[in-house]
Structure formats: C-alpha cells, structure tokens
Structure 1
Amino acid sequence: MNYYFSIGDIQDKINYHYNKSSEKSDFPTIIRELFIEKKYISLSENLPDISNYSFLDDNAFFDATKNLYIKLNDKLLADERLYNVIEDNHIMAVTNNFFNTKGSKHLHDCFEIDYVFRGNLNLTFLNENRTLNKGDFCILSPFTEHIASLPDKNSMVFSILVCEKTFKDNFYPLLSNNDILSHFFNNILSNPDKPNYLLFCTENNLEVSSIMKRLFVENFRYDKYNLQCCIHLLNLLFVSILRVSKTYHQFSSYKFGPDYAPILRYIQSHYKTISLPTLSEKFNYSIPYFSKIIKDSTGSTFAIIVQNLKIAEAIRLLNETTLSIEDIAYEVGYHSPDHFYRIFKKNQGLSPLQFRKKNNSL
C-alpha cells in the first residue's frame, strides 16, 4: 500500500524538531512521525491537481511545491533500510532537498544531477567545499561521496537521480565526436575509477529553469505516462545544458577546475591554424605540461583532437558543398592537398572523392 506525504508537512516537521532541540533530523524519522500522526493521503485520487504548477512564476512555484506529495510504500515505512530514492523497477527520480536535515556523507550507485533553482547549495566533494549558486548544475558520477546541504530556508535545490544505463543512453549520444567539449565531458563522467563531477553555470537560463520545473512537477504525477514524460524532459534538459555549455565559458570539474574551459573553447575555435607551441604560449604553460593536461582532460592527444576536428569539418563540406577537394583541404587547415588526402583516407578508409561519391549516391 502507498502513502503520500506533502513536502510542506515534511519541512514543517523538520523545522519543529530543529526549533525544539537545535538538532537536525534524518528523513526516515520524520516520515515515521508523520505516519503515526496520520498526516498523509492514502488514495492517489485525493491528491491535489498539480497540472498548472510548472507554469507559475518562480516565487509562486516555490510556495506551491509544499503541496506536492511524496509517495512511499508501507514496506519502506516499516524498515528504513529498504529506503531508496529510486524505487525498485524505476530508472530515475526527482527530489528536492530539505532545509535543516542531517547532511551526512553519502553516495549513490547512479548519476546525481543537482540543480540550484533558488538560493544556494553547499557541496562538499572529497576535500573541496564549494557553494553552488542559482542556475548551477552539478552532475556527480556514480559512487561519488559527497555532502549536500541547503544554507537557508529560502534555497531550493532539485536532485535528479538517474540509473547509469539511462544516463548513458540519453546523455552520451548527445556528445559529438567532433567536439572537444564532448570529449572532455565524456572523459570526466565515464571513468569509474575516478570520482568526479561536472559543474555547469547556466546563468539563470530561463529555458533550463522552465524544463527543470516541469521535470520536478512531473515526478509527482503518479500515472502511467509519468516515466515516459520524465525521460522526454530529461532529454530536453540535457540538450539545453549542452547548448548553454557551448554558449558560456562556465563549466568545471573537480580535477580540472574552471581554468580549462577557455582552453578547450580556444582549441575548438582555432583548430584550423593552431599549433601546440602557440597554444602553450597563449595560456602560459610549458609544452610538455600542456600536452599532459589536454590528454588528461579529454583522453586524446592534442594532435588527434585537431586532426579529428579537421576531418569532421571536411566531412561536412564534402556532404553539404560542391567545393573541390583541394579547396576543402585548405579550408580545414591543411597546407597540402596531398597530405589532407592521406590523412582523410587513413581516417575514413576512403579517399575524399570516394567518400563524396558514396554519400551522394545514398
């Protein structure tokens, strides 16, 4: 049997305990007390209509979320050890963070995406403490120990928990092979031996905020369409985040910090003419050190990255224009058409002319 507890009642009970004892409560204890007091709804048809919540302005939305109801079954109420944010046979969940709850170190066997809708979030990751601001997205890889807590009652943070397969099926295909930022993101999140995170600063992007509101509310619509809608909105969210990351410079990770964003963007924009010595000089690094940080952050060498970017642009020009092979070679940054010919054939298994003919015949 399922029971439904409102976010407002949960937060009120948390506040009651804190005001009484100055100690922070844990979530299972709060739920058990509400259950004993019978502060729940037992029939889903008695839940309030929330279909218009995501269209409210941010302040009204903040207040309205207190009337959203979290679903828990009786087995979880009987044994807190069975509690899991993602229900059995589910692939994702969207939750909010409660103020004045115990902020203990924890990890998940899934990806966690934290979004600061309002105010701030205090995040502790390994030996690093940082404050996330409104509009910040933090993607934590599986089995990454961290502590997340709200600094005040006016902050609002949504957490999306996505099983590893669902995350990879929906996020990784959006990463382009000819985009250095995609290589960076993939390298950070796909290494199971190195806990890490990606932080995106969306600068209060209204599109991202709107999708996040819809996704959060959809999580509380307990019908047969819920999961399909959540996956759809998750895809939209990923696309919006990646669009923002290509527009703004603000993204970072635990290992590499914020200083690598300008470097990766500069390579992406100047690959046709760039060289490792000029790049090293521009950013004031030695050539050996610069080679190492590029390999560490993207998983590829500088030469391979530049070559792949050139080949990807050459493929686009072969498919979409009538430029000659010689003109395309110069256009993508090769000084010798013969050199371009050899590199392209080695990379694609066909000469540029053979590649164009094959694709034009499809």
Structure 2
Amino acid sequence: MTLQQLCEEISCNDPNKVSEASPIGSRIVCPEYSLHVKDIKTYPLSQDEKVFALCWVIRNNNRLYGTIRPANVSFSYSCKFKEGTRTQMHTHEYLELAYIVSGSFRQRIMDKDIIFKQGELCLVDKNCLHQDYLDSEPACILFIGIANEMFEYIISDQVADKRIISFLQTALLKQKNLWQYLHFKPINKSSLKMEEYLFKLLQELINYDKASGYICHGLLMRIFRLLSTDYDISLSSEMQKKMNWLLFEEITSFIKQNIRDISIKQLTDRFHFNEDYFNRLIKSKTGMTYIEYVQNLRLKEAEKLLLNTQYNIDDIAAKVGYQNKGYFYKIFVKKHNMTPAQFRREIINLS
C-alpha cells in the first residue's frame, strides 16, 4: 500500500461518515466567511498526544474528503466546494508540516500565493497567518500537526542533523513576532524515503496506543534529518534577509560570550556552516572580516577592563584572548596611538 492509498482509505472509505453539518467538519476545512476575521486553530487533541495527522483528498468532482488521526472514533468527512474556494485566514497554536502526496496545493502565506508541488513540504510556524485554496484538480495533502513541546524536543535532539536544527531554531523559535514558513523541495528521489517515514507515521497515528508517542517522536526526528540532508529550503529574498540578521545576531552573541578563546572552528562546530560563510555574513553586516571583528570586540573589552578594574596589563591581555603580550600592545597602539597603560592614565585623568 502507498501513502496515497492509505490517505484515501481513511479519508474516503471509513464507514463512520460525518455529515457536512457536523462541527468536526470545521476542524477539517473551514471555508472563508470573512475578509477581516482571523481564526486561531487550537490543538485538537489531549495534552498527552503530541502529534496528529489531517488528511485531505480532493477529487475531480470538486469534492473534498478528510479525516483526523488519532481519533476516539475513526471517521471520514466530505463536502462539495466551488473552484478557488479559500479556507478562513488562520493561524495555529502548533506547528504544521504539510506534505503534497499527489497533485499540487496552493496556499496564501504572508499575502503571497505559493504553489507547492508533489513531493514538496511546507513547515508553517504557529504565528504564521495563512489560508488554503481548494482547486478542482485532484490532489492529496497530508498535514502533520506537531505540538510545540514535541517540536522543541525534536530540534534540540542531537540525533537530528545539526545544521538544519540550528536553522530551524533560529527560523521558528527565536523570532516570536515574525510570521514564518519554510518551503522544502526534494533533491533527486528523496521523496521516496520521505513517503516511507510519513507512511509509518500515519499508520502509527491510525493505530494509536501508549507506545505511539515515542515511535512518532523517532519518526519525526528521521523526517527532520531527511529534510536537512536531501531537501533544499526555498526562501524569498525578504525572508532570507531576515534570516541572515537572525543568524548574525546568534553568531555574534556566541562570539561575545566566548571572546577569550573563540575560534572559527568553534563557530563551524556550533553553527555548522563553512568558514567562508562566517566571513561573508560578518563582512556584509559590519564591513569587517571575521578576524577584524573579533579583534575589535577584544580591544573594546580590554578598554572596559582598563578603565573599570585594577587588573594589570598582562592579565587584561589574557582575559580578552591574547597570550602574546607584544601582539596585544601592537594592535592596541595601532588603534589608540598610545599604550594600554597610557590609555588607562589619560582616560581616568580626563574623567
């Protein structure tokens, strides 16, 4: 059985049908009813269940079939729609990972229409205002709802790939007021492995028991690892600029916290970019190379210690990362046209 067949089986063929008038239907699809109202979709399961799946199957007779798993009683829901119908503009109180099993899927995110094609994924932050289009072309979309605690566990786990973890932490957790989404496009045949993981995840959510939370956690870790190694992340130029600033702030904060013994290797180990990336990023934001930027921070810290402590010059040089006293004197004099001792005397006398 394929992922498409499994989605169709639980969405279209379940004997427990739900009528279009049922309130469950509005959880599955809520057509637009206002241009100005924003829906906030709450997490639909109990606190113990950290992951759920919402399946959409769209047939060419303009009918949508859908279901949610896990559920106390399995069910399928269907409704007729007009071409181009949009769901109500909404946000989630959880994160949503959408996978296009077949066909294509159109969403309006951050006032921009985006088309996701078969095999692609979209990760939508809980703060991201968006709406979905219902088009007449056949399609199957699998939405995975991830509770915030589960997502934080996954991206902080060292088993997952560190470069994507660093990126996701910056993109989705460090910016509380910035709407965000990530568009993943498969490289080569990576979607085959993704479908395998999603198939197992959906099966686990259908047959949910006490062990399922742990199994789903492990499968999501594999999914995010695959996203990091076999998928490209597509960002608009505006979002890329925001991401660069966020990463710059993260990187420079780390440098300042470790100014005494910071090295480019520490940065590559911590943030998982190559050395050229740090030089380019710092140069674009400060006009300085990485070495010039670190030297400038160290000299500023040395100035503070000279003026606000009684440490001797050798101790200050060591505290800001220079074991070679002669080199410290050389760069300090180059910047201030005076020795550290002269700087200390003159500035204190002036004050």
- Is 1:235 the counterpart of 2:204 in the alignment? no
CA separation in 2, counterparts of 1:209 and 1:218?
A: 14
CA gap of 1:227–1:293, structure 2 versus 1, over 3 A, is closer
Give the unaligned 5+ runs of structure 2.
Answer: 29-41, 65-84, 271-289, 299-315, 322-351
Q: Which of 105, 108, 125 is the equivalent residue of 2:89?
A: 105
Cα deviation 1:300-346 (Å, max 9, x = unaligned): 38878999782238879xxxxxxxxxxxxxxxxx99xxx9xx9xxx9
Q: Contact between 1:140 and 1:196, CA under 8 Å: does it hold in 2?
A: yes
- CA drift of 1:244 comes to 1.7
Who is 2:170 aligned against?
A: 187
- Is 1:137 the counterpart of 2:116 in the alignment? no
Q: Contact between 2:88 and 2:131, CA under 8 Å: does it hold in 1?
A: yes
What does 1:1-362 align with in structure 2 at a 5 Å threshold? 56-57=1-2, 60-61=5-6, 63-66=8-11, 69=14, 86-89=44-47, 90-99=49-58, 100=63, 103-152=87-136, 154-174=138-158, 179=163, 182-190=165-173, 191-203=175-187, 204-205=189-190, 206-245=192-231, 248=232, 250-252=233-235, 255-256=238-239, 260=240, 295-300=244-249, 310-312=264-266
Give the TM-score normalised by structure 2: 0.53
Q: Contact between 1:114 and 1:159, CA under 8 Å: does it hold in 2?
A: yes
**Matched pairs, number:** 234
CA separation in 1, counterparts of 2:268 and 2:43?
A: 47
SS at match of 2:210: coil
Q: Contact between 1:124 and 1:147, CA under 8 Å: does it hold in 2?
A: yes
CA separation in 2, counterparts of 1:238 and 1:70?
A: 34
CA gap of 1:182–1:189, structure 2 versus 1, over 3 A, is same
RMSD: 4.6
CA separation in 1, counterparts of 2:248 and 2:92?
A: 25
- CA drift of 1:298 comes to 1.6
Give the TM-score normalised by structure 1: 0.51
CA gap of 1:201–1:150, structure 2 versus 1, over 3 A, is farther
- CA drift of 1:64 comes to 3.7
Instruction: Looking at secondary structure, tell me which structure has more strand per residue.
Output: 2
Give the unaligned 5+ runs of structure 1.
Answer: 1-55, 261-291, 317-333, 352-362
CA gap of 1:302–1:107, structure 2 versus 1, over 3 A, is closer
Cα deviation 1:263-295 (Å, max 9, x = unaligned): xxxxxxxxxxxxxxxxxxxxxxxxxxxxx7674
Q: Contact between 1:116 and 1:158, CA under 8 Å: does it hold in 2?
A: yes
SS at match of 2:249: coil
- CA drift of 1:175 comes to 9.4
CA separation in 2, counterparts of 1:79 and 1:58?
A: 24
